[in-house]
């Protein structure tokens, strides 16, 4: 496992005072762990963005505090601004290198499926992450899924087909399907789907479909009944 380094500084600001730091390109953070006193920090937003782009969230980070205090940490949670997507807060969990950890690892789909390229099928990803348990030093930043093995609509890739070190335990049924390719829909299927959608519209609560009278005689009869 390749460790990545992230510089940080101790933070004393709390509450609304952290907004100025955010405007200066910093992200408020906290590091904590079992039996460890939590520490408030600042990390550079640009450094964090580069780290995540290169190594992902499932990576052991050497978090250096004030240039001297090194901590082995995992990203526990990242909060983002709902509009801009910018980082607003990050939680780091300090790990012990001699104790197993449980965390999610991202699945990265590589290659090209012949069933898509040649047969025109639709790639269906059932999972994008898996929960794993291992020592921190054995934690992969991601797990590759080679979809070039899917040549027909009957082919699929399961957890058991993934290339994973025997030092890593995956918390999932080995027969769980990770990805497959479904057949493209025919024109008849699409037409039937459109008919079904149109039929379902009349069932929506609050929508009543008016029916015209069978003929003018019935309509006149209805008016006469009202007069009575």
More confident residue, 154 or 216: 154
> Which tens digits make up the pLDDT trace of 136-172?
989 988 999 999 999 999 999 999 999 999 999 999 9
Dihedral angle over CA of 178, 181, 185, 189, nearest 10:
-50
Q: Cα(190)–Cα(40) distance, rounded to whole angstroms?
A: 55
| Residue 54 pLDDT | 87
Whether 195 has a pLDDT exceeding 90, the answer reads: no
- Mean residue pLDDT of the chain comes to 85
Identify the weakest region by mean pLDDT among 21-25, 55-59, 69-73, 179-183.
55-59
**pLDDT of 224 over the 60 cut:** no
Q: Answer yes or no: are the C-beta atoms of 4 and 37 closer than 8 Å.
A: no
What's the rounded mean pLDDT across residues 96-114?
A: 93
**In whole angstroms, how far apart are CA 205 and each of 114, 197, 199, 211?**
45, 15, 13, 17
pTM greater than the 0.85 cutoff? no
Which domains are seen in the chain, by residue range? 4-95 (2.40.240.10), 97-228 (2.170.120.20)
Number of C-beta neighbours around residue 208 at 10 A: 7
Confidence band for 78, pLDDT divided at 50, 70 and 90: very high
State pLDDT tens for residues 5-60. 999 999 998 888 899 999 999 999 999 998 889 999 999 999 999 999 888 888 89
Tell which residue, 14, 193, 172, has the closest CA to residue 107: 172
Instruction: Please answer whether residues 150 and 114 qualify as being in contact, where contact means their C-beta atoms are separated by less than 8 angstroms.
Output: yes
């Amino acid at each position: 496992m390749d460790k990545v380094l992230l510089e940080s500084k101790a933070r004393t600001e709390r509450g609304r005072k952290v907004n100025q730091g955010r405007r200066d390109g910093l992200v408020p953070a906290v590091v904590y762990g079992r039996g460890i006193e939590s520490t408030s920090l600042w990390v550079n937003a640009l450094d964090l963005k580069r780290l995540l782009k290169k190594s992902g969230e499932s990576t052991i980070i050497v978090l250096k505090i004030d240039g001297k205090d090194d901590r082995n940490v995992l990203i526990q949670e990242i909060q983002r601004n709902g509009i801009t997507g910018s980082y607003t807060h990050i939680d780091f969990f300090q790990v012990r290198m001699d104790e197993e950890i449980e965390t999610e690892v991202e699945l990265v789909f590589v290659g090209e499926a012949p069933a898509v390229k040649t047969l025109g099928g639709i790639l269906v990803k059932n999972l994008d992450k898996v929960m794993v348990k291992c020592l921190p030093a054995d934690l992969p930043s991601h797990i590759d899924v080679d979809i070039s093995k899917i040549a027909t609509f009957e082919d699929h890739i399961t957890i058991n087909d993934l290339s994973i070190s025997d030092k890593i335990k995956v918390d999932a049924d080995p027969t769980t399907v990770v990805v497959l390719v479904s057949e493209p829909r025919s024109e008849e299927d699409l037409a039937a789907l459109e008919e079904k959608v149109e039929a379902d519209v009349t069932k929506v609560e609050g929508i009543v479909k008016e029916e015209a009278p069978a003929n003018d005689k019935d309509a006149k009869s209805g008016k006469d009944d009202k007069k009575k």
